[in-house]
Amino acid sequence: MSNGDQRSMIRDAMQAIAQRKPGKSKLVYDKTKRTIVAVSEGVSAPQALNITADDADMFGVVTLSSAWLRDKWPNLTTLGSLPVDFSSWDDGDALTQLALCVQGSGTRASAMLVFGEQQAQPGYGLVISIVPTDKPTHRPDVFVSPDNIAYRAQVTEVVGPATGRREVVFADIEPQLDLRRAGILETTVLKDRTVLCVGLGTGGAHVAVELAKSGVGHFLLVDRDRLSVGNVVRHPGGISQVGRAKVNVTRDLILEKNPNALVDVHATDVSFDNRDMIAGLVQAADLVICGTDNRQSKLLINELCVSANKTAVYGGAFRRAYGGQILRVRPKHSPCQQCFVSALPEEASDVEVSSQSDADAIAYSDRPVAVEPGLSLDVLPIATQLAKLALLELLADKSSTLNVLKQDFDAPWYLWLNRPERGTQYADMPPLSSSRDEMTINRWYGIYFERDEQCPVCGDFLAGFAAAYGIDPSKLPALPEKE
Amino acid sequence: MTWTMAQRERLALEHQILHNQGFTQFSVYHYAADDTYNAYGTATTSSGRRYQLFCMIPSGYPTQRPSLYITDPKPLLNYQGAAISSLGVSHAMHTLEPHAAGWVQICHWRADRWHAGIVLQKVFLKAMLWLEAYEQHLATGRDLAEFVRTMQEAA
């Protein structure tokens, strides 16, 4: 019985259950008989399982990599068999070929892959036979060989306890992932795009993973920190990753979503001491995402991006993540981070203090600043919006369903409020239900402000200041020299 | 050390602003031997006391914050007679990490508030305000922070 047949049968049975009159009997799927049976209520039915939606995938699954099999196809057809290793999940319920695993289960299982009908394979409990089939080639249980012949796989347990029926599916990663994105995103464009992600805290890591899901093909990751236990309640990395560098944690999260992505990691600080190295990364990127909470690192990235004429998107939460903001900088065309800091100093200084290093950066030693991280659910709206703006930039003038958003997201600065935080200018916002035109929580506001023509980073600071101070910039005397 | 033309022009402009704004006691200097820049000079307070101020121009200037030290008198003492440099990063005295040579570093702008729009003339102006507050601290024993507002961002 095929998967599709089973699901169809189960759907019919569930519909029958939904339509039946109360009392008397119930319909159950008998796993042993592999059929639907009617069982009187109150009667013990140890062989039967109550049907739930989960039962639609009731057989164990073996997942093989199509790319690996294509690569090994000449060997398999010549030698007749190949060993293959799996990561075993849930007591062997799911076996995923190691070639597909970024992070395995920690339990391995071995099998022998055989070309043609299964032969006895001493030493291997599990034998997977690859045999020709006339099934349609789009099915996940069909593999199309390099010589364009359709095959299916059948599993034989040679020794050991019977673990029930297993189905083999072939994971052809790139086409199967692209299929889910096609029509909305221009995936062939995104595959060739390089994104530099600076700062991989909760927001930065989330943005990177979202871009990986969307099909971005090349990432440059920069962060000096390691994942701590306290990070786990917010960061996409989990407790098993504690102690690892955030760049490595995020790389693995990216590869889990986009195994074909190229990811370069740099576990380093963003500081003036390694300015040249960071400048090289900026030069190599199509887009820069800056998720640091540190003014100096933002301004350094800003300077390098303006100099290299690279678009950058800066995102961050306000203190305790009562809200957040995003600044998109298209050099020479929209205000840069320096323009923002000069024009809106209070807004630019309202940052989340989510770690001890953040706190130390703004505290005097005799007046410590408390670490007050916000909630993950308050940071993620900002990260999600940032990822969307990043995709718009990456797709630029290419055809995409997202193009219609360009008229919505044409402002340089975006503001989001999670709550009317006391002590802020947003404390007295009207409730969401009664507001019409006033600012409220849970809405994005695109805000326009002018670029500073005399900005010291993106404008003509020299001419502007010279004029302001009555100095002729063409007649600046040479500086006094010292030995 | 490689300076961009924009940085060199900016430093030449800084020097000229200092002199145009009446801060002629301070200048920006170029050290040809190692191609570095510093700004320094002598500040005289309203009481007539003199202090040597030394501003180290970092390679990332103006995006990177310059450090400002009092190099003389050394040690600079507080009301209790202790070296202010021994206090380290102090809100009470508005000081940052002292120089290895024992010079007190004045907190003009914190790194998280600094930006490239701030000119050296404002840095020296804040240093002179700090010195006036310091002398009030010496006269009264009250924290220097009571005489100066937390450094505002506006350039």
- Is A308 contained in some domain? yes
The answer to whether residues A348 and A443 belong to one domain is yes
pLDDT for position A49:
45
Interface of B with A in 24-83 (CB under 8 A): 27-33, 37, 58-60, 62-65
The count of domains in chain A is 3
Residue A312 covered by a domain:
yes
Q: Is residue A473 part of a domain?
A: no
* Whether residue A105 sits in one domain with residue A47: no
Out of A272, A478, A481, name the one closest to residue B64 (CB): A272
Interface test with A, best of B8, B56, B63 (most A CBs within 10 A): B63
| Per-residue tokens: A351 | 């940052």
Range with lowest mean pLDDT among A274-278, A428-432, B32-36? A428-432
The backbone torsions φ and ψ at residue A97, rounded to the nearest 5 degrees and listed phi first, read -55, 135
- Tell whether the model's pLDDT for residue A302 goes beyond 90: yes
Task: Say whether both A49 and A142 belong to one domain.
Answer: no
Break chain B down into helix, strand, coil percent, rounded to 5: 30, 25, 50
User: Quick one: average pLDDT of B55-71?
Assistant: 97
Q: Per-residue pLDDT for B37 more than 50?
A: yes
pLDDT tens digits along A85-116: 999 999 888 999 999 999 889 999 999 999 99
CA proximity to A80, closest of A153, A141, A126, A129: A129
Q: Looking at per-residue confidence, does B131 or A138 come out higher?
A: B131
Same domain assignment for residues A295 and A405:
yes
Nearest-neighbour CA in chain A from B72: distance (Å): 20
How confident is the model over A327-347, as a mean pLDDT? Answer: 93
How large is the C-alpha radius of gyration of chain A? Answer: 29
Same domain, A404 and A322: yes
Q: Which of B11, B20, B33 lies nearest to residue A470, judging by beta carbons?
A: B20
Domain ranges, residue A10: 3-57
For residue A458, is it within any domain? no
- The token pair at A274 is 């390694």
List the domain boundaries for chain B: 5-146
Helix (H, G, I), strand (E, B) or coil at A428: coil
B15 touches chain A (CB under 8 A): yes
Q: How far apart are CA A282 and CA A275, in angstroms?
A: 10
Strand order in the sheet with A48-49: A35-40, A25-30, A48-49
A113 and A200 part of one domain: no
Q: What is the CATH number of domain B5-146?
A: 3.10.110.10
On whether both A34 and A68 belong to a single domain, the answer is: no
Determine, yes or no, domain membership for A201.
yes
* B14 residue type, one letter: E
Interface check B91 vs A, CB under 8 A: yes
> What is the nearest CA distance from A253 to chain B, expressed in angstroms?
31
For residue A139, how many other CB atoms are within 10 A of its CB?
16
- Each residue's pLDDT tens digit, A28-82: 666 666 666 666 666 555 444 454 434 445 678 999 999 999 999 999 999 999 9
Q: Do A38 and A84 have their domain in common?
A: no
Facing residues of B53 across strands?
A: B41, B70
**Set of chain A residues whose Cβ sits within 8 Å of the Cβ of B89:** 364-366
For A181-226, how does the pLDDT look when each residue is reduced to its tens digit (9 = 90+)? 777 777 778 999 999 999 999 999 999 999 999 999 999 999 999 9
Pairs of residues, one from chain A and one from chain B, whose beta carbons lie less than 8 Å apart: 121
Indicate the residue of A272, A457, A462 with minimum beta-carbon distance to B116.
A457
A34 and A137 housed in the same domain: no
Q: What is the pLDDT of residue A40?
A: 63
- For residue A375, name the pLDDT band (cuts at 50, 70, 90): very high
Interchain pair B21, A471: CB under 8 A: no
- Is residue A481 in a domain? no
Does B117 contact A at CB distance below 8 Å?
Answer: yes
Where do the DSSP E strands lie in chain B? Answer: 26-31, 36-44, 50-56, 67-72, 95-96, 104-106
A136 in a structural domain: yes
Domain boundary at A136, A171, A206, which? Answer: A171
User: Among B3, B16, B29, B34, which would you mutate to test the A interface (most chain A Cβ atoms within 10 Å of its Cβ)?
Assistant: B16
Give the global pTM: 0.84
CB contact under 8 A, B60 and A272: yes
A95 plus A148 within the same structural domain: yes
**Rounded to a whole number, what is the distance in Å from the CA of B45 to chain A's nearest CA?**
25
Residue-level pLDDT at A344? 84
**Looking at the partner chain, which of A272, A295, A482 has a beta carbon nearest the beta carbon of B58?**
A272
Phi-psi region of A380 (alpha: psi -120 to 50; beta: other; left: phi over 0): alpha
Domain boundary among A123, A149, A171: A171
* Domain match, A426 and A314 both: yes
CATH number at residue A343: 3.40.50.720
| Inter-chain CB proximity A477 and B91 less than 8 Å | no
Residue A292 and residue A414 share a domain: yes
Domain boundary among A57, A77, A102: A57
pLDDT for A28 equals: 65
